[in-house]
Amino acid sequence: MKTEIYTIPIQDAFAEESECPVCRMYQKLEENAINYTIGPGASYMEGDIREQSDEQGFCQKHLEMLYEYPNKLGLAMMLKTHMDKTAKELKKAMKAPLPQAAVLFKKKSQPVHPVITFVEEKEKKCFVCDYINHSFTNYINTIYYLYEKEEDFRKQFAASKGFCVNHYKVLFSGAPEYMGKKYLNEFLMTLNETFINGYERVRDDLEWFICKNDYRYKEQPWKNARDALQRGLVKAGSIMEAEEKKE
Ligand SMILES: [Zn+2]
Ligand SMILES: [Zn+2]
């Protein structure tokens, strides 16, 4: 298979043993993004980048990951200027007239208060998610590209263990826009088949896992079910950490 610098992360992810290669790609991107945000490059000391993180803030998951990273001072500095900016914007929003008791607005609902609009908008933003999403779209498009260009990749794709339900949807929904008509049908059919086969395989492993917790099956072999729960978490909820932490 031909390898270009931008196809490496995709080829690596598909070469690994996992219940969703796209989760693998996402996880690597996430590690890079956390590193970029708070790691040795200290991107947060650059004015334009800091302006972005001040404005966007961070989602709950990435706040936790940033907190786990051993750079508490860097995180404190980023949080402080983010909080400065948020307080400034909220003080502006607070100047709008206060909401009235709901009973006065029985017929038509009262306008949404700027405080609520501001916080709701903020909840949708995250500097780390944003950084990941830029590359993630390119990664997904590279999967389509490799499928169209490389016979070896088509085989590897078909032989994969399938995908989590979320990334199955991502691959399914993007294909018609990105792929030419020569391979689109074949890709979607192969995608459906690999997904459902992998999904039902893990479902069967889970069934056996449940049986094995029943004393009547105590003497039976475990087959492939020891880590069925961790793999089930990947298929159902893209929780890759569980698969990694399996005993
Ligand atoms: Zn996934
Ligand atoms: Zn995030």
Q: What is the pLDDT of residues 170-228, one digit of tens each?
A: 999 999 999 999 999 999 999 999 999 999 999 999 999 999 988 998 899 999 889 99
Q: What is the pLDDT of residue 173?
A: 97
Domain interval for residue 186: 5-97+114-244
Q: Distance, CA 223 to ligand 2 centroid (Å)?
A: 38
In a domain, 103, yes or no: no
Q: What is the pLDDT of residue 242?
A: 66
In a domain, 134, yes or no: yes
Q: Distance, CA 121 to ligand 2 centroid (Å)?
A: 14
* CA separation, residue 132 to residues 34, 37, 88, 137, 148 (Å): 9, 11, 28, 9, 25
d(CA 206, CA 190): 24
Q: Which ligand is nearest to the CA of 62?
A: 2
In a domain, 202, yes or no: yes
Q: Which ligand is nearest to the CA of 127?
A: 2
Q: What is the pLDDT of residue 93?
A: 96
Q: Distance, CA 21 to ligand 1 centroid (Å)?
A: 7
In a domain, 102, yes or no: no
Q: What is the number of domains present in the chain?
A: 1
Q: Distance, CA 38 to ligand 1 centroid (Å)?
A: 25
* CA separation, residue 27 to residues 69, 143, 181 (Å): 16, 16, 31
DSSP letter, residue 59: -
In a domain, 54, yes or no: yes
Q: Which residues of 34-66 are buried (b: 16+ CB within 10 A; e: fewer)?
A: bebbbbeeebbeeeebbebbbebbbbeebeebb
Q: Distance, CA 100 to ligand 2 centroid (Å)?
A: 34
Q: Which ligand is nearest to the CA of 63?
A: 2
The contacts of residue 171 (CB under 8 Å, 6+ apart) are 22, 140, 143, 163, 191
In a domain, 223, yes or no: yes
Q: Distance, CA 184 to ligand 2 centroid (Å)?
A: 32
Q: What is the pLDDT of residue 247?
A: 46
In a domain, 61, yes or no: yes
Query: In which residue ranges of the chain is pLDDT below 50?
Result: 247
In a domain, 156, yes or no: yes
Q: Distance, CA 114 to ligand 2 centroid (Å)?
A: 24
Amino acid at 97: P
Q: Distance, CA 63 to ligand 2 centroid (Å)?
A: 8
Q: Which ligand is nearest to the CA of 164?
A: 1
